[in-house]
Amino acid sequence: MPELPEVEVTRRGIAPQIAGRRISAVTVREPRLRWRVPAAVRRLAGRTVRGVTRRAKYLLLDCGEGHLILHLGMSGSLRVLPPDTAPQKHDHFDLVFGDRMLRLRDPRRFGAVLWTAAGIATHPLLRHLGIEPLSRAFDGPRLLALTRAHRTAIKPFLMDSRRLAGVGNIYASESLYRARIDPRTPARKLTAAQCARLASAVKATLRAAIRAGGSSLRDFVGSDGVYGCFQQRYRVYEREGQRCRECGARVRRLVQGQRSTYFCPSCQR
């Protein structure tokens, strides 16, 4: 599933191409995505996209009187293409801007194309989201405060979007490795020093992934069709049984919350 870095890479790719441009046409080939594409989306022609922002793993296109909410789901990608590009089997949605169009490709159809005319912060999918991990507000003291009441292990805590918005499975494992913290540690037992290290590690990991174009394990490509390459730099994720790049110990895998966690038993004591 595309995680925060992949969504941010997409946002940075499409924003210069569509911000400030008028929507000239909308095509919905397959409305049956994770949630049915609402009829209001088909009536967006004539509106201008004022800006493209991101909240957690959601892309938000500000159309003045409302927002188009896009989610890439499990296998989605957004491409900016010439408007006469022929659609392929899994190309479900086009937003045309005269000489270019934004196209959603989603083989598994777990993505979303939604519309809201209400305040974006009150939308049911967004109103319960936690702090943005790349924001200035997220730091060691804030993480320390967030973790005090939680007995859950720190790895699933990082992935709880109600606490921290958008840190997925890959980047939680990689961040904990950078911070040298065992993923099984109860969140409330982290010290102030550990929280400071972990907050910095989360930001450093996400920023490094964005610079690398994200991770392309299966379907993800950026808006220009280029695959991300951060997967080539993983330190622990999907490296079970391989040598730790720092100490040489074997990377281990365990399951937490039905998700795979990877860690170094020596570096992350």
3 is catalytic: yes
2 is catalytic: yes
CB 81 within 8 A of CB 96: no
Radius of gyration of the chain (CA): 20
203 is catalytic: no
Say which amino acid occupies 83: P
**Catalytic one among 100, 188, 252, 259?**
259
218 is catalytic: no
**Catalytic one among 2, 5, 107, 156?**
2
**Catalytic one among 54, 55, 57, 105?**
57
- Residues belonging to the active site: 2-3, 57, 259
